[in-house]
Amino acid sequence: MNDRRFPWLMLVPRHPGLLEWHHLPRQQRHQLLDEVSVLSEALEDVTAPDKINVGALGNLVPQLHIHVIARTRQDPCWPGPVWGNGAPELFADDEQPDWLPALLEALPVNFLDRTNDNE
């Protein structure tokens, strides 16, 4: 997510019109959780947060999407949720998060390719 305040990832299963996690067939529900878990673990290893927040809300954008966010006691929304809580701080156009290279390095080999193949 384009918000410097937190290391914040989002997963969007490529099922147009899908609204709820539990609407997926069981195996795909589990696969999505496995992918959330891989990203949670990588974020935890790389950013050493106080807590990982996982959320499937979708009140504003109903298409199913899962937030995975690394939270710290020093972040500007702690201990509240990040959603609807203050204004995002955008990255510059040519800027990438300082934690991103290490996160990509921490992912299993071909993780992004594999998830992209699982349409």
Closest CB to a second copy among residues 17, 96: 17
Cα distances (Å, whole numbers) of residue 36 to 9, 42, 46? 9, 10, 15
DSSP 63-119: S--EEEEEE-TTSTTTTS-STTSS---PPPTT---TTHHHHHHHSPTTHHHHHHH--
Stretch that binds a second copy, among 2-10, 54-62, 95-103, 110-118 (CB under 8 A): 54-62
Stretch that binds a second copy, among 6-14, 53-61, 88-96, 109-117 (CB under 8 A): 53-61
Tell me the C-alpha distance between 93 and 118, whole Å.
30
Stretch that binds a second copy, among 1-9, 46-54, 91-99, 102-110 (CB under 8 A): 46-54
- Given candidates 7, 9, 46, 52, which one binds a second copy under the rule CB under 8 A? 52
Q: Which of residues 76-115 bind a second copy (CB under 8 A)?
A: 78-81, 83-85
Q: Are 108 and 38 in contact (CB under 8 A)?
A: yes
Interface residue list for a second copy (CB under 8 A): 19-22, 26, 29-30, 33-34, 36-37, 40-41, 44, 50-60, 62, 71, 78-81, 83-85
